[in-house]
Amino acid sequence: MNTSAHNLGKVAVLMGGRSAERDVSLMSGGGVLKALLASGVDAHAFDPAQRELSDLKREGFDRCFIALHGRYGEDGTVQGALELLGIPYTGSGVMASSIAMDKTMTKRVWLAEGLPTPRYVLVRREQLATVSVQQLVSELGLPMIVKPAREGSSIGVSKVTHTEQIAAALSQAAQCDADILCEQCIVGDEVTCPVLGEGEAAQALPVIRIVAPEGNYDYQNKYFTNDTQYLVPCGLPAAEESVIQALVLKAYQVLGCRGWGRLDVMIDAATRQPYLLEINTSPGMTGHSLVPMSALAAGTSYEALCCQLLASTALDHAPEVIG
């Protein structure tokens, strides 16, 4: 084992969990675990759906690599538990994780900071019987995106092109979450951009342009087909890529994120205005995942990225010494 790997101590790779993204998390965690072991790190798989988190303390783990996605892993809950246990972890802290997981709250922060994001209407599950479809169309237009406010990996997301499809789309999203986000559909280039670091030291990685079959970047095309194209270099004019990198960096910083994140952006085909869609604070690390792809384009291997992220583990609050 090399010295730097030894200094990282005993590491738990948190994977699996109880969210709808469990399968993706197991793929991410498996990749991270393999990379850390290959780098000489004393790393171990740990599934919070099958074990008590208190085992982390009892078994002497020094830090955690969070490869959980979605609820209970990306939303501030596991971060809060690790804060109580005093075990440093990868990625954003409790508040930033919680806000970023909620697409509506994220939009509110971005709009308050003057950052561009598509127009939206929040519909709550108990309002489904009384919501005015015509009102939604008049406010947002068609096509429209309907999605759960607190899910990832395109789960429960619908692109609505006709008024009569809206009720079914709302119902599908409501099965995943009590809050449903109806959003203006921006037609144009779809891109994503990872950010590494914290505060003023944070840096945006190369932008990736996503070209999905028939423009449908859904769960299947994200993880289980090879039909989606990921272009890095993205092929956009250099000045346009720089604008997007500056935008995602600001969006990441105003939420108080740290460690890493990945921000999804749509570029209006007519105006070339970029619009922030959402941020992932525990991005995928599967064979199809975009953060490692972008990092590799910047000269950082998958293994080196995993070790870099692990070395950045932190707590919101350092444990107090009592006595």
Q: What pLDDT, on a 0 to 100 scale, did the predictor assign at position 305?
A: 97
- Catalytic-residue membership of 278: yes
CATH top class, domain 120-184: alpha beta
Cβ burial of 283 (10 Å; 0-12, 13-18, 19+) is buried
pLDDT digits (tens, 9 = 90+) for 119-170: 999 999 999 999 999 999 999 999 999 999 987 657 889 999 999 999 999 9
pLDDT band at 1 (very low <50, low <70, confident <90, very high): very low
Q: Write out pLDDT tens, residues 24-55.
A: 999 999 999 999 999 999 999 999 999 999 99
CATH class of 99-116+187-307: alpha beta
The secondary structure element, H or E, covering residue 280 is: strand 274-280
pTM exceeding 0.85:
yes
Is 43 within 8 Å of 57 (Cβ atoms)? no
Q: Kindly state the percentage of the chain with pLDDT values over 90.
A: 85
The four Cα atoms 24, 30, 36, 41 give a dihedral, to 10 degrees, of 120
- Whether 301 is catalytic is no
Give the mean pLDDT of the chain.
93
Residue 17 known to be catalytic: no
What local confidence, expressed as pLDDT, does residue 318 receive?
75
* Given 153, 221, 289, 312, the catalytic residue: 153
Q: Would residue 219 show up in a list of annotated catalytic residues for this protein?
A: no
From 74, 177, 190, 278, the catalytic residue: 278
Tokens of 148: 């759960």
In the predicted model, what is the mean pLDDT of residues 180-195? 97
Q: How far is CA 263 from CA 96, 135, 307, in A?
A: 14, 29, 22
- Choosing from 264, 282, 294, 302, which is the catalytic residue? 264
pLDDT in tens, 213-241: 766 655 555 555 678 899 999 999 999 99
Q: State the fold for domain 3-90.
A: Rossmann fold (3.40.50)
The domain spans of the chain are: 3-90, 99-116+187-307, 120-184
pLDDT at position 216: 60
> Is 262 in the active site?
yes
Report the DSSP pairing between strands 179-184 and 10-14. Answer: unpaired
* pLDDT tens track for 53-93: 999 999 999 999 999 998 899 999 999 999 999 999 999 99
Q: How distant is the alpha carbon of residue 161 from its chain centre?
A: 26
Question: Which of these is catalytic: 89, 120, 217, 223?
Answer: 223
| Options 259, 284, 289, 302, the catalytic residue | 284
Quick check: is 183 catalytic? no
Given the residues 17, 21, 156, 158, the one annotated as active site: 21
What is the predicted pLDDT for the residue at 29? 98
Residue 7's pLDDT band (boundaries 50, 70, 90)?
confident
Mean pLDDT of 234-262: 98
Active site residue 280: yes
User: 234 with 293: CB under 8 angstroms?
Assistant: no
3-state secondary structure of 228: coil
265 forms beta bridges with 191, 276
How do strand 120-124 and strand 42-46 relate by DSSP bridges? unpaired
Candidates 63, 71, 150, 262; catalytic one: 262
H-state helical runs in the chain: 3-7, 22-38, 54-58, 77-85, 94-101, 103-112, 133-140, 166-174, 219-223, 238-254, 290-297, 302-311
Is 268 one of the catalytic residues?
Answer: no
- CA 257, 91, 321, 201: dihedral to nearest 10 degrees? -50
Fold match, 99-116+187-307 / 120-184: no
